């Protein structure tokens, strides 16, 4: 039988329709709102009506922009595949479909027959599905395998693999995929940022040309686009059709939005390859990262696609996310076993469940200039090893965490002196130093073996339950000896392999992805880690911004969020404990504070917040994330609403002095209009007792229909800047 010419997949309110008629690569006919079940006649009609007319002075045939756009079709925008052979040939591809495989999501690749009806509505039940297209270009002697999946959460993902079918090498310059968006998508939103101020939103019109975001840090980057969104003008968290893409890759990458004069609008991305980084010998192949695509009505609906998908993974953390105390901002490099044991005791008293020993425990590490790479417990500081502290922590009922930075090395270390050739470099010069560090060539088997042996030995010997895996510098001039060939692509894959090996050797140990804070936050690193550190800045004012936009990709249980000391380490800003704790509440809650310097009253208040987190963490970590602003952007709201709408927790945050005051009513999004709710303040010291600043209902509780809370809302306290009020809402019917 002939392969299908049209394929329709549906899941969670999203439809994807692919034109597979060929002879070229698949073309997306529709990606967006659910079209409902479509029969053969409807699919055939959709295919006809989607074809563009031939414009004046254009190509004589309509240009079909496939998932891997090709110049050979007449496309003059960004090509999907770039590359060539040593003689300059094969620089332009013209792939022809050879075989199409339709699979359910849980099938092994190529496990089903490619037989099927001429037109196939493959998914009448809305369960999603998978399409694998095998194509070839005989003239260029290349093969291409294209995988397209519509996941159960309505999340679309696609990747491609190019194979060298020729007899000479083929240099891959780049392989990116692109997804079309409709003409209603006139605005673009993505994220920028820097160290300690990650994920800053930036918005602009989608004008003719290319809005290109390149990450050349050798890691995801604090300035990564994260999710690049195109949507209807004026879209908000709650409304407006939006489409977004994310490149799941922890090395160099490209993400772009493109609008061309002929009207097409595309969102695309892939790995950014350095010159000569991927050369395919005959028979070898290169596979691109997954490009994830999400569609929804409003940014919250878009984020919910990612959150639902992540929560459905078998590897997603299932146990309650433990309260963490990390010692970094408490002691820095000043490791004293007695002082740390006292800190562990105080941590247990306020309800901490995981005690994390940060940088400074290993040989020669008294500051950040030396010792990195020498992963042996320092006998001068820890004469009895880490076992006494581990035993003390475990006896207090807490887990033990330990900091590593395996990919980096100080030149002033025994490791660098013994193996200078293990450092990434261009022959004749080391990369410009950063944080007194260089980078180890993890793709070198000897480096991999050394790091795996040292990490596993320390973890097992001390009974470590949790690893904070850091990565504190960009990969600049990252060549590998002896040739100095670029190494970022191989390094990224090698780090994945090392993480996988550590997890295999230490089952049950959780791993955090930290990278100068939030510089390695992407869906591929999260296939191997259990949370991310969103930022080295735990100033609650800045963290409100950082966490608000990290939520565009990640649910709160995957985002470490800590209560710092009264004066923020990174900014010098002084903030009340209630605001610091209310900010940390909506994440994976932790503490980064020398509790020995806190007053008894502060420790008692902190213990109250810990109890609040432990009481409500299941709601926060399974609920749907909602975000909103008041009429004045100085007042924000965010929260978590239970999947069945029976309960919700909201934070109302004042970040600046609004133009008009008090703020007035604020609606509570996400509730069900057909249910009745009790609303009460959740106040472990969060709002002043001064009755003048709270509305009459505030001593509460108050009971209202969901329709009222959704439309009219409730009056809010007249809070000072950098203060928050937390509301608990529960259905009473």
Q: Which of 123, 470, 539, 576 is catalytic?
A: 470
Please enumerate in sequence order all residues whose Cβ is within 8 A of that of 705, keeping only pairs 6 or more positions apart, or say none.
673, 675, 676, 677
Spatial separation of the C-alpha atoms in residues 641 and 619, rounded to whole Å: 7
The continuous run of DSSP H or E covering 399 comes out as strand 399-404
Please enumerate in sequence order all residues whose Cβ is within 8 A of that of 644, keeping only pairs 6 or more positions apart, or say none.
none
Spatial separation of the C-alpha atoms in residues 54 and 59, rounded to whole Å: 7
Beta strands at 324-326 and 354-357: parallel, antiparallel or unpaired: parallel
Please enumerate in sequence order all residues whose Cβ is within 8 A of that of 395, keeping only pairs 6 or more positions apart, or say none.
none
Spatial separation of the C-alpha atoms in residues 194 and 197, rounded to whole Å: 5
470 as an active site residue: the answer is yes
Beta strands at 723-731 and 676-682: parallel, antiparallel or unpaired: antiparallel
Would you tell me how many other CB atoms lie within 10 Å of the CB of residue 601? Answer: 10
Among 513, 425, 570, which residue's Cα sits nearest to residue 220? 513
Cβ atoms of 34 and 13 within 8 Å: the answer is yes
Q: Which of 536, 539, 542, 722 is catalytic?
A: 536
Among 8, 11, 15, 298, which residue's Cα sits nearest to residue 153? 11
552, β-bridge pairs: none
Distances in Å between the alpha carbon of 405 and those of 93, 172, 301, 325, 601?
Answer: 42, 31, 36, 19, 36
Alpha helices in 351-444 (DSSP H): 387-395, 414-418
Would you tell me how many other CB atoms lie within 10 Å of the CB of residue 532? Answer: 26
Instruction: Report cis status (omega within 30 of 0) of the bond before 155.
Output: no
Residues annotated catalytic, as ranges? 470, 536
């Amino acid at each position: 039988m002939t392969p299908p010419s049209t394929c329709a997949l549906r899941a969670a309110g999203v439809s994807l329709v692919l034109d597979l008629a060929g002879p070229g690569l698949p073309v997306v006919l529709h990606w967006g709102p659910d079209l409902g079940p479509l029969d053969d006649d409807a699919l055939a009609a959709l295919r006809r009506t989607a074809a563009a007319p031939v414009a004046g002075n254009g190509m004589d045939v309509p240009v079909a922009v496939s998932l891997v756009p090709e110049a050979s079709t007449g496309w003059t925008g960004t090509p999907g595949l770039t590359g060539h052979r040593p003689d300059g040939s094969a620089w332009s591809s013209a792939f022809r479909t050879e075989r199409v495989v339709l699979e359910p999501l849980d099938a092994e690749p190529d496990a089903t027959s490619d037989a099927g009806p001429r037109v196939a509505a493959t998914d009448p039940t809305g369960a999603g599905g998978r399409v694998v297209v095998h194509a070839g270009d005989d003239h260029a002697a290349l093969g291409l395998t294209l995988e397209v999946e519509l996941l159960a959460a309505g999340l679309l993902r696609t990747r491609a693999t190019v194979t060298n079918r020729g007899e000479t090498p083929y240099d891959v310059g780049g392989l990116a995929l692109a997804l079309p968006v409709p003409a209603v998508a006139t605005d673009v939103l993505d994220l920028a940022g820097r160290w300690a101020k990650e994920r800053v939103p930036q918005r602009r019109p989608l004008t003719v040309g290319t809005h290109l975001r390149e990450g050349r840090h050798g890691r995801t980057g604090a300035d990564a686009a994260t999710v690049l969104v195109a949507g209807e003008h004026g879209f908000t968290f709650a409304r407006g059709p939006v489409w977004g893409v994310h490149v799941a890759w922890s090395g160099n990458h490209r993400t772009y939005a493109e609008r061309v004069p002929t009207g097409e609008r595309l969102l695309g991305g892939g790995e950014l390859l350095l010159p000569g980084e991927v050369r395919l010998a005959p028979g070898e192949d290169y596979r691109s990262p997954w490009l994830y695509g999400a569609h929804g009505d409003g940014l919250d609906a878009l984020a919910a696609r990612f959150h639902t998908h992540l929560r459905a993974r078998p590897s997603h953390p299932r146990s309650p996310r433990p309260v963490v105390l990390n010692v970094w901002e408490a002691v820095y490099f000043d490791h004293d076993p007695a002082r740390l044991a006292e800190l562990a005791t105080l941590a247990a008293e306020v309800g901490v469940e995981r005690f994390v020993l940060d940088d400074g425990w290993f040989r020669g590490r008294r500051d950040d200039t030396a010792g990195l790479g020498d992963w042996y417990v320092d006998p001068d500081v820890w004469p009895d090893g880490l076992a006494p502290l581990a035993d003390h922590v475990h006896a207090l009922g807490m887990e033990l965490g330990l900091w590593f930075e395996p990919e980096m090395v100080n030149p002033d270390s025994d490791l660098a002196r013994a193996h200078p050739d293990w450092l990434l470099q261009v022959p004749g010069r080391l990369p410009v130093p950063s944080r007194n560090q260089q980078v180890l060539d993890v793709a070198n088997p000897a480096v991999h073996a050394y790091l795996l042996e040292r990490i596993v030995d320390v973890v097992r010997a001390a009974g470590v339950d949790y690893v904070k895996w850091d990565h504190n510098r960009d990969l600049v001039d990252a060549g590998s000896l002896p040739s100095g060939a670029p190494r970022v692509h191989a390094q990224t894959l090698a780090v994945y392999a090392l993480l996988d090996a550590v997890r295999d050797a230490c089952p049950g140990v959780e791993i955090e992805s930290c990278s100068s804070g939030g510089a390695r936050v992407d869906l591929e690193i999260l296939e191997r880690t259990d949370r991310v550190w969103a930022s080295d800045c735990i100033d609650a004012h800045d963290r409100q911004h950082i966490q608000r936009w990290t939520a565009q990709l990640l649910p709160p249980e995957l985002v470490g969020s800590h209560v710092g000391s009264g004066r923020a380490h990174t900014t010098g800003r002084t903030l009340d404990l209630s605001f610091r704790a209310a900010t940390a509440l909506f994440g994976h809650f932790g503490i980064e504070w020398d509790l020995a310097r806190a007053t008894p009253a502060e420790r008692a208040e902190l213990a109250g917040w810990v109890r609040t987190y432990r009481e409500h963490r299941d709601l926060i970590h399974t609920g749907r994330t909602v975000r909103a602003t008041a009429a004045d952007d100085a007042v924000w709201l965010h929260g978590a609403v239970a999947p069945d709408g029976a309960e919700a927790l909201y934070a109302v945050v004042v970040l600046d002095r609004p133009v008009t005051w008090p703020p007035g009513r604020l609606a509570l999004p996400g509730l069900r209009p057909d249910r009745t709710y009790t609303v009460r303040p959740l106040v472990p010291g969060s709002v002043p007792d001064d009755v003048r600043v709270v509305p009459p209902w505030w001593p509460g509780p108050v009971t209202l229909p969901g329709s009222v809370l959704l439309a009219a809302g409730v009056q809010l306290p007249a809070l000072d800047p950098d203060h928050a009020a937390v509301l608990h809402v529960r259905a009473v019917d």
